Amino acid sequence: MRIGCVILNYNDYENTALQEERIRSFSCLEKVIIVDNCSSDDSGEKLERLRGEKTDILRLADNKGYGAGNNAGIRYGCEKLGLTHIVIANPDTHFDEACIRKMAGVFLRHPEIGVAAAQMKDGSDGSQASGWRLLSFTEDLMNTGPICRRIFKWRLNYPPEYKEGKKAVYVDAVHGSMLMVDGAKMMECGGYDERVFLYGEENILAWKMRACGYRTVQLLNVSYIHENSATISKTYQSILKRQKLRHESSLFYYREYLRISMVQEAFAKLFFAAVMAEIWFCSRILRMRW
């Protein structure tokens, strides 16, 4: 088992460099692959300083989104370096070597696994799940709005007893901030869908893995810390802009994977407009922070 870690950077040299410094000494990692997604600042030039025996730097000519950037790193690791498993980690995540080793152990014991992840800890008051089931069109709409997904959390998430007292459970999808994939299975299913620029990659990857007959597991006895989308918030400071991207990705997922009708698509657009109004009111009038 040969493991590497892909870190995708876009205008976030500080967090990316700190991440590389934290993990490059991990003996379980054969290589750290930093992919600069055509940053508009001087991140690419600065990252060259980190190039070394254990750290490779890939600088992409175009920013085609989160999925395309990570796919480039995964292909490089598997095809050029011969790695078998890849940890995909956002720059704003914190994890130790034991976390990687426990995820790796799952792949060794269960050949049906395509994706594994640990329990995510963040400052989102629990509204962001670490692992979840793939939802129907109606359920996914309810999960889109920051307010309504809190109201209907009981219906949208796995029941508490599903995970209670267990060390690991099968789930449909896991949070994309930090996960490990089987490189061969990842490439077999086509990797991340590069037609999606940002957001929603987890559900699409889960759908593709399931279609290929592979399973996803979430470990409950090990965790990592995620700074609540600090990297994305640096690039898209407006909650309204981030939400607009989410809606665009959701519509793509509904059309291409859930195969919704034109009537359902029209309803989704109306629902998304209401969500945008809800966010505007909560953020601008009530001064709520997200």
| pLDDT one-digit tens code per residue, 74-125 | 999 999 999 999 999 999 999 999 999 999 999 999 999 999 999 999 865 4
Residue 111 corresponds to which tokens in the numbers above? 């050949």
For residue 125, the model assigns a pLDDT of 47
Task: Kindly indicate the confidence band of residue 240, based on its pLDDT and cuts at 50, 70 and 90.
Answer: confident
Task: Kindly indicate the confidence band of residue 127, based on its pLDDT and cuts at 50, 70 and 90.
Answer: very low
Nearest 5°: phi and psi at 73? -65, -40
What domains appear along the chain, each with residue ranges and CATH number? Answer: 3-285 (3.90.550.10)
pLDDT digits (tens, 9 = 90+) for 131-188: 999 999 999 998 887 778 888 887 888 998 999 999 999 999 999 999 999 999 999 9
**DSSP string over 88-108:** EE-TTEE--HHHHHHHHHHHH
For residue 27, the model assigns a pLDDT of 98
Q: Which residue has the higher pLDDT, 287 or 263?
A: 263
Task: Kindly indicate the confidence band of residue 279, based on its pLDDT and cuts at 50, 70 and 90.
Answer: confident
